[in-house]
Structure 1
């Protein structure tokens, strides 16, 4: 805490407190008002473009006590980063404390000082919040004037980021500005003792948003909410598929116990086997279907309300059962609770869980606009449940998986975005603003400001033109919302990434430095930054994923890097093998199986043998022979993701053509989880050193696996044995590195999409911890490419502080 006031405790002074952090949109001003009233202070509080401004007429001693209580008693959803003190003129000396109108005009923004501007850059934009218990009680109270109203909210719940147009957060700067408050809502909005005081989305049936239905014959159905919800439930009970306008976009829904309806949804959306999430009314309903751990209960019912991946083995006997078609050949089902009052009313009336998946055509961003949804989704649904509250910022549902007792974000979106991530103190200052563009799959971008990072919502696969255009627009929108302009742009080293090309274009247009970052270094830095690590010596990063462009022009994916934010050294990796057919090998696992078997020298022998496995006989075609003859022209890869695909192909659980990214690896994980506790011997990965690196070699494993498979050992046992053997091989590799005098490390960071695998992550953490190493892993951001922009931003911040710094345009 700092102040520009001579410390004379007995003198009453005009004191201005500038409070930064997450202090808007979560009931902070009513809390300040009540605290001042409790302490008998005169003064005022208001939202500004810099955070929250508090004026007090009191002594320094009392003001310090006031600040202490601000920090220790602030609302659960709020947090304070900084309180800056200044002297100020003060005319109100009557003992009254007031809540003033927020600074909403551009003149007020232009009047801020440089010190205030730094605080403005640190202001947190509130995320969307799930329906709170107080509002739920009113929603279900037929005597309450908001009983049954599908847009009920207060300072502790409701839409925030999805409806905000500009900061500071205020009703006139949200999409609620078009709904004029009725007399009763206005009284609540202005009453500092009411929990809806300045709850910006406040509304009721008289003055707020409303719902209506539309069928696939363009008939519009209006009426009372209860009647409309009843009609939706009749459609759902009849097996129909509906598009529902949610908080951050549209969702497609049908009966989660109706196999025929689910199969129709899959057929229409061209989504044959990818898991579908379901929504349940509340925690009570969820416990009727699943045996939930305490951690799972906490995250399902928390204010972020993500999809939580629950193990199928936790399912309890209940009729009707959830349909098998929800997540075929998977170990987990994605479950979320009704997080908006509209969802709750629908789930309450229907009585059974509903499928609730993204409202889009395959690969495109989710729809947010009514007209857009009616046009784009017309071939997918039988009806629409619409409302007239506009969505500014698209937000998919977030996805969480609990591994080793900790939540691991798989997709970071609604409820988490745009929450700021505090960076290690050595990275950047208030003036260091970096834009990092991320990767092409599971894209997110990142903006840093005031020592914090803001990750965007999930943008999907940028190869789809609509996703790419949405990314471009979202970058401009978030910069405006945060009030920042980048001073450098960071991109992936891959020359053909859409995200990299966009970043290069932005850097050239704005004449900003461009920083190109190797993919796996980005992963390493993301893990370090999330865990707020300030390296005192190089840290070993174990980065396992699908593909990333390497320094040598090959495609890396099974990497051990020794480094920090500034630099890295590749010290070990999986022995490379060819990507037969180039990019096709990323979606056709059988190609990787052939490449690895040929590398091991056993393809020719086994393919000619009478005892050859059926799967290999199927692959022994003229195309295969041609591919093997052309091996030298294809790029090499050290990808563990493609290695797992090959194992899935050998066990005949991977389709010839994947229908979604990660399909084969997820099936392999599911198969292994039921048998991993029975494994007590392992395949011997070979560890050796060539002229440059230590290598992890699979050559000796393939003949052993095929022999055991032909002997009738179960596929689940082989799947578990291979993945546990991989962990043992990585441990052996780490031990070899520890034995090298020139390599000194005591900490390990785990990153990359492979670490979404529960078995591999949990076992490797245990094995490395047993060696006495400090192990860091992801929780706040995805280990997959959805979190890599954070690492790119951290590296860029480190590099722009190096002197002299040169742009990467010419590299």
Structure 2
């Protein structure tokens, strides 16, 4: 008897075929295993009982980084096998598999590159079946060397032996190479002169440049990184000036854990993230006494946290361990532009910011920034701030989308800021990596290129396109363009309903009959009444979304200038509040004051944005009047509030909204009036900031009580605030069930996924209503 075992999910590029080979051999089975466009296919000659045991063991003992989505075991026409072997991939059929993300350098490979008697000592592209690039080098599916950027590199005899040795961890490692069949490095000056291609010489050049305070651009896994000495304040300021990034925090690359402990408090769960196959940037609390000489105030001005990472690629590991001091490691671009990822781009664009450019000749097919995460201080709630390298592009759902069917083919193009696209295709859900803010032509070009790559990988075009209701977004305009080209329907989804649908789907709540109250707070989203929403309470039940409350409207001033200048939010919210003018007036010139106050009295466009409310409070407290990066004011406000809570706990703050004013329309004016009163009374900034956080926590509890809804789901950029997330859990978990994002960021990166989920939920509700109507009509007859 012959049985066919078909597995789908994240089962390619994770060492799955070698694992199956070893398991089958241990069970003395004959057959074969191969990759296919739709997963992994296994054939075995055995009896029914043994086939079932084999299938169970495949699932139970699969590689740790595998994610099995479905398993099908069936008897097929008998095939004769005289042993068990890995055979060539099956290139026929439609591609329908999860794409494996890039995997950080494993401990075994790290040891090899640092061991003088190992043949891979100092080799910057050492990988195995457990680590190395996957998604970033994938040109076609299924995942095999000929379908990746490694196709141009022939293995030497030693690597071939490893590749074919079942006892070796490089058995069928598609990225295998060594110094005898290498990916080649080359070092260029900013003028474009090739300085050296020698592996031993170029590390020396790089070290000299770093010690001299210069910036080196290094080609990483998903694109170029800019490195400079993180203990050298002058080097950091030079990089900031060149990159046009005056105050936005810069990530720090540590050579190892021991130096990291000198500068930051590192909990076990944070260390687990840093050393995981994802190896993201993780926000850590820094120590008051810095042990490494780190120029911490220049790296994260005004903040008590640092974004840190450990070397996730062998080239970065070699540079970091040789330099043996922390390094700034930031995206290789000028602020506002996408990350450079080709050698040509590097030579054309990076001389403006880097003194040396270290490149190699393996192509990056899919560019990606580093992923960024944080953990809330008390409840250790994971919060994804940027989902990219190591996390993108596949999501795993506890409950599949209902209503759209397994053959759904729907593309969602998301919003504008923090852009992503999502695609529901052949039973899988793909969410692209973070692609930047679609306000620049270069980012728009990058968005199109990544989308075209997906269309090429899966050789498909969608049957329906979803987009935001904001007609001015590039993503919306692109959706109209593609819908016309492909002649497919276009469906627009309200921004905040998409946020809610995303967190519902991530938490398996799409099949819930019990109502869920969505607390959706962000900076900007086009509302169905034509105003700018951002402080919404939306009830979801049985496929319907109802706005049941919101923060009171205030004037939306000067378009995109308002989020860049928190003082405008303060002016809008505090204008004509008693005692406010003395705080507001010094923030503006005479001409600005006359113009902006006049505009404020004539403004027709309103907003309910909690993001702008955070900006206003930060400005009134003197923390930020003009932001140099998105979210700066809110981050500074969280920072000072967190200092107060660490010292005094969650029970010591007062609310600026008395219970009598806790209604379904939240009075922003009352909140601002209370804050101005406390400022005038001389209360400390950190206490006022904490009281503001406590006030909006109480707002959530009040709306939950008024609606009688027990389940609460949170989405929107405001919920990147770790203090706020913890405070919500502290106040509300005793009486309510709280749901936060699990795999996606709460910011607008989740919008495209939410559009898919929203479409599925509303389609399911339509089908339900049709069924109920048909049932009623049949009984009435």
The residue aligned with 2:508 is 532
1:261-282 alpha-carbon deviations (Å, 9 max, x no partner): 0000000111000000011123
**1:700, distance to aligned residue in structure 2 (A):** 2.8
The residue aligned with 2:773 is none
Is 1:349 matched with 2:322?
yes
The residue matched to 1:203 in structure 2 has which SS? coil
Is 1:98 matched with 2:85?
yes
The residue aligned with 2:751 is 788
Is 1:542 matched with 2:519?
yes
8 Å CA contact 1:129, 1:156 repeated in 2: yes
CA distance in 1, matches of 2:107, 2:288: 26
Match of 1:516 among 480, 483, 492: 492
Q: What pairs up with 1:476-491 in 2 under 5 angstroms? A: 476-491=452-467
The residue matched to 2:562 in structure 1 has which SS? helix
The residue aligned with 2:550 is 573
1:174-212 alpha-carbon deviations (Å, 9 max, x no partner): 011111111111121122332112211110111120112
Q: Which stretches in structure 1 are left out of the alignment for 5+ residues? A: 1-12, 739-744, 806-811
CA distance in 1, matches of 2:766, 2:668: 44
CA pair 442-634 structure 1, distance change in 2 beyond 3 A: same
**1:136, distance to aligned residue in structure 2 (A):** 1.2
The residue matched to 2:72 in structure 1 has which SS? strand
Which region of structure 1 is more displaced relative to structure 2, 396-405 or 707-716? 707-716
8 Å CA contact 2:409, 2:463 repeated in 1: yes
Match of 1:748 among 700, 705, 712: 712
**1:729, distance to aligned residue in structure 2 (A):** 2.7
8 Å CA contact 1:250, 1:359 repeated in 2: yes
Q: What pairs up with 1:11-22 in 2 under 5 angstroms? A: 13-22=1-10
Q: What pairs up with 1:262-661 in 2 under 5 angstroms? A: 262-312=236-286, 314=287, 317-403=290-376, 404-422=379-397, 424-427=399-402, 428-533=404-509, 534-564=511-541, 566-598=543-575, 601-602=576-577, 606-607=580-581, 612-613=582-583, 615-619=584-588, 621-630=590-599, 631-655=601-625, 657-661=626-630
Which region of structure 1 is more displaced relative to structure 2, 77-86 or 756-765? 77-86
CA distance in 2, matches of 1:482, 1:285: 44
CA distance in 2, matches of 1:687, 1:551: 29
CA distance in 1, matches of 2:603, 2:620: 24
8 Å CA contact 2:6, 2:73 repeated in 1: yes
The residue matched to 2:416 in structure 1 has which SS? coil
CA distance in 2, matches of 1:758, 1:201: 38
The residue matched to 1:699 in structure 2 has which SS? helix
**1:666, distance to aligned residue in structure 2 (A):** 0.8
CA pair 315-780 structure 1, distance change in 2 beyond 3 A: farther
CA distance in 2, matches of 1:504, 1:125: 28
8 Å CA contact 1:435, 1:448 repeated in 2: yes
**1:617, distance to aligned residue in structure 2 (A):** 4.0
8 Å CA contact 1:507, 1:513 repeated in 2: yes
Is 1:66 matched with 2:54?
yes
Match of 2:642 among 673, 683, 699: 673
CA distance in 1, matches of 2:458, 2:399: 20
The residue matched to 2:239 in structure 1 has which SS? helix
1:237-283 alpha-carbon deviations (Å, 9 max, x no partner): 10001111000000111001110000000001110000000111233
CA distance in 1, matches of 2:413, 2:590: 42
CA pair 541-462 structure 1, distance change in 2 beyond 3 A: same
The residue aligned with 2:778 is none
Match of 2:145 among 168, 171, 181: 171
1:748-795 alpha-carbon deviations (Å, 9 max, x no partner): 10110001111211111222213x211100131000001111111111
1:481-503 alpha-carbon deviations (Å, 9 max, x no partner): 24443221110111111111111
CA pair 535-452 structure 1, distance change in 2 beyond 3 A: farther
CA distance in 2, matches of 1:29, 1:706: 65
CA pair 27-468 structure 1, distance change in 2 beyond 3 A: same
**1:702, distance to aligned residue in structure 2 (A):** 3.0
**1:620, distance to aligned residue in structure 2 (A):** 7.7
**1:628, distance to aligned residue in structure 2 (A):** 3.2
The residue matched to 1:378 in structure 2 has which SS? helix
8 Å CA contact 1:283, 1:300 repeated in 2: no
CA RMSD of aligned residues (A): 2.0
Is 1:735 matched with 2:720?
no
CA pair 484-653 structure 1, distance change in 2 beyond 3 A: same
CA pair 264-426 structure 1, distance change in 2 beyond 3 A: closer
Which region of structure 1 is more displaced relative to structure 2, 277-286 or 436-445? 277-286
The residue aligned with 2:779 is none
Match of 1:683 among 655, 662, 680: 655
Is 1:27 matched with 2:3?
no
CA distance in 1, matches of 2:580, 2:46: 87
CA pair 602-203 structure 1, distance change in 2 beyond 3 A: same
CA pair 544-154 structure 1, distance change in 2 beyond 3 A: same
Match of 2:125 among 142, 151, 164: 151
**1:467, distance to aligned residue in structure 2 (A):** 0.7
The residue aligned with 2:774 is none
**1:291, distance to aligned residue in structure 2 (A):** 2.3
CA pair 70-552 structure 1, distance change in 2 beyond 3 A: same
CA distance in 2, matches of 1:454, 1:315: 42
The residue aligned with 1:9 is none
Match of 2:45 among 57, 67, 77: 57
The residue matched to 2:452 in structure 1 has which SS? helix
**1:450, distance to aligned residue in structure 2 (A):** 4.1
1:83-139 alpha-carbon deviations (Å, 9 max, x no partner): 223433444353x111112224xxxx1xx4xxxx5xx42x12111000101111211
**1:686, distance to aligned residue in structure 2 (A):** 5.5
**1:424, distance to aligned residue in structure 2 (A):** 2.3
The residue aligned with 1:5 is none
Match of 1:206 among 180, 197, 200: 180
8 Å CA contact 2:7, 2:72 repeated in 1: yes
**1:706, distance to aligned residue in structure 2 (A):** 2.4
Aligned residue-pair number: 760
The residue matched to 1:547 in structure 2 has which SS? strand
The residue matched to 1:551 in structure 2 has which SS? coil
CA distance in 1, matches of 2:536, 2:637: 21
The residue matched to 2:471 in structure 1 has which SS? coil
CA distance in 1, matches of 2:632, 2:349: 26
1:311-355 alpha-carbon deviations (Å, 9 max, x no partner): 22x465414234310000123210011000000000010000100
The residue matched to 1:582 in structure 2 has which SS? coil
The residue matched to 2:49 in structure 1 has which SS? helix
1:586-615 alpha-carbon deviations (Å, 9 max, x no partner): 2111111111112xx425x653xxxx34x5
CA distance in 1, matches of 2:672, 2:45: 77
Normalised by the size of structure 2, how large is the TM-score?
0.94
Is 1:85 matched with 2:57?
no
8 Å CA contact 2:55, 2:73 repeated in 1: no
Match of 1:227 among 192, 195, 201: 201
